[in-house]
Amino acid sequence: MTWNKSLTTLGILVWVGIIAVLLWVGTQTPTPQPVLTLAYSDFMVKLDQGAVKTAKIEGYKLEGTLTNNAHYTTITPEDPNLPAQLLRHRVHVVVVPPQSGSTLVTLLSWLPFLLIAGVWIFILFSSRNQTGNRFGFGKSRAKLITPAQTHHVTFADVAGIDEARSELQEIVEFLRSPQKFERLGGRIPKGCLLVGPPGTGKTLLARAIAGEAQVPFFSISGSEFVEMFVGVGASRVRDLFEQAKKSAPCIVFVDEIDAVGRKRGLSYSGTNDEREQTLNQLLVEMDGFDTREGVILLAATNRPDVLDPALLRPGRFDRRIQLSNPDITGREQILQVHVRKVPLAQDVDIRALARGTPGLSGADLANLVNEAALLAAHRNEALVNARDFDDAKDKIMMGSERRSLVMSAKEKKITAVHESGHALVTLYSPDHDPLHKVTIIPHGRALGATLSLPERDRFGYSRRELGTRLAILFAGRIAEEMYFGSDDTTTGASDDIKQATELARRMVCEFGFSTKLGLISFEDADHGPAYEGLFPGRKAVSEETASRIDEEIVRLTNEAASSAREILSSHRSELDNLVEALLEHETLSGSQISELLGHNLPKRQETQGFLTAAQ
């Protein structure tokens, strides 16, 4: 590094000196002698008198010396007889071609070429210290994390992904004691691909492996390989693997590998673009290193479908580990990890908190704990209590409260009616999740929200459950129509209608819940002019089939709307009571609503919860 800095400084000083010398040479001229400027007629008089000794003709300029050694200059007209007259008076004549410019101009015209030559010389000298990486362009930008920096991240900090952790445990054992596997002829996988949605702990799991094995950890993003200069990415790949081999045993982690590992042949710029060269070099390097060298390649992506098949074949990424959002047990374990340094009040129930956060990833749960701690600090509390977690959960799932938004009395009542419709249909739907909370305080983009939470994780839905979800989505609009009439309903149900239409379309086209169309999936087909817009980029369907799909979607939505209208009409008095309570308290919990309307509600089934909101 010192040699490189000294070389750079020396090069700069050398070029500053060269430029200074060129400018000095160009500006140097001999000390001028007094020159007599003559008119042409006066010059001819002196010529006739024999007073001219020498003459130098340069275009229209004539200069020379007189017999008394005085220097003269004059401008001559275009006279072809002038040389003959000078020779007749025995004048020493010199004829020179006209000059195109001064010495300085000539030197400056050569300066760009000299600079280019100097730059190339500087590159050749500097490459001696950079192993062929000109100015460091081809040098790997991977961040090296030493064992001293990774020891505090272990498997104890990774929760909710027990299966993935157990699969990667053998990599740790190999890095610790490779002889255990080599003794029986075993070969550790060269590469492991971590696949999962954002926030599921792919990067944290990779660092935990390095922390458990106590080995160096090279971390780089796939986008850092690709540059506008062709060949730079391939050079960085070579340099990365060279560094890894020098630091073996070690782990190389490439995050978002889909940025460089996309399928080849799909680029508009041809097959020889920078991205493909980088991928080709990565494939060659993965074939070139031996697992006995102790270099393990880990990569993470949330888009495995776009990766090149050559990258996924055995011998490169031998193992593919799937990570997903945690279930209720996993969420509880993750929360236990993140609350270790947070002082909790006695009323905080981690199990209940895990139950109330369905679908959240590990990163979301970490953010939940952090938001609760920030709220407690803002309120000057000594401990983080259940209220802080509840408010933080609402902020994450529904958006921040917007109490500064001023709503008129009419708008507030419309919102209360809308959310009461959602809540009442939820209460009287035994195959849906329990009602958790209803609020008419604006959150994010929504003017109000109705939240249902599941009692356990579910991974499948029945046709009845999906029909209930459709009815709940339409309940807000139906309640508005019952109160204000169809002409005075608002646009608040636009998002509900959009969600319901999409759900009905999936019921028909994906889930096979249409008795008219049968068990046929239309999701893999290519759209044609017969049904433009419904299946973008997919296979064509006939006019008749497209019409039947439309009819089935309309039938499902109409049935759901009728079901919601029937429930609200049968319990109109309870709807009125709920509207009045919301206008008074603004936010009601599920237990408060059950107490308000009575305890003779239908028994519920356990399903996956969801959120409906009036936009």
Active site (catalytic) residues:
419
Residues 137/238, Cβ–Cβ less than 8 Å: no
Q: Where are the beta strands (DSSP E) in 3-80?
A: 35-37, 54-58, 61-65, 71-75
Q: Helix, strand, coil % (nearest 5) of the chain?
A: 50, 15, 35
Q: d(Cα 146, Cα 42) in Å, to the nearest integer?
A: 91
Q: d(Cα 259, Cα 256) in Å, to the nearest integer?
A: 6
Q: d(Cα 557, Cα 563) in Å, to the nearest integer?
A: 10
- Amino acid found at 46: K
B/e letters for 578-603, b = 16+ CB within 10 Å, e = fewer, are bbebbbeebebbbeebbeebeeeeee
Residues 480/490, Cβ–Cβ less than 8 Å: yes
Chain centre distance of CA 440: 35
Residues 321/194, Cβ–Cβ less than 8 Å: yes
Enumerate the β-bridge partners of residue 74: 62
- Distance between terminal CA atoms of the chain? 59
Enumerate the β-bridge partners of residue 93: 55
Q: d(Cα 384, Cα 390) in Å, to the nearest integer?
A: 11
Residue 261 to residues 199, 258, 277, 291, Cα–Cα distance (Å): 21, 5, 11, 21
Q: d(Cα 68, Cα 52) in Å, to the nearest integer?
A: 9
Write down the residue that tokens 């908190």 correspond to.
Answer: 353
With 0-12 CB in 10 A as exposed, 13-18 as middle and 19+ as buried, what is 511? Answer: middle
Question: What's the CA angle centered on 37, arms 33 and 38, to 5 degrees?
Answer: 140
Tokens for 486, please give them.
Answer: 């169809």
Q: d(Cα 352, Cα 355) in Å, to the nearest integer?
A: 5
537: number of CA atoms within 13 Å, CB side?
Answer: 0
With 0-12 CB in 10 A as exposed, 13-18 as middle and 19+ as buried, what is 335? Answer: buried
Residues 562/466, Cβ–Cβ less than 8 Å: no
Q: What are phi and psi of 446, to 5 degrees?
A: -90, 140
Rounded to whole angstroms, the maximal C-alpha distance in the chain is 139
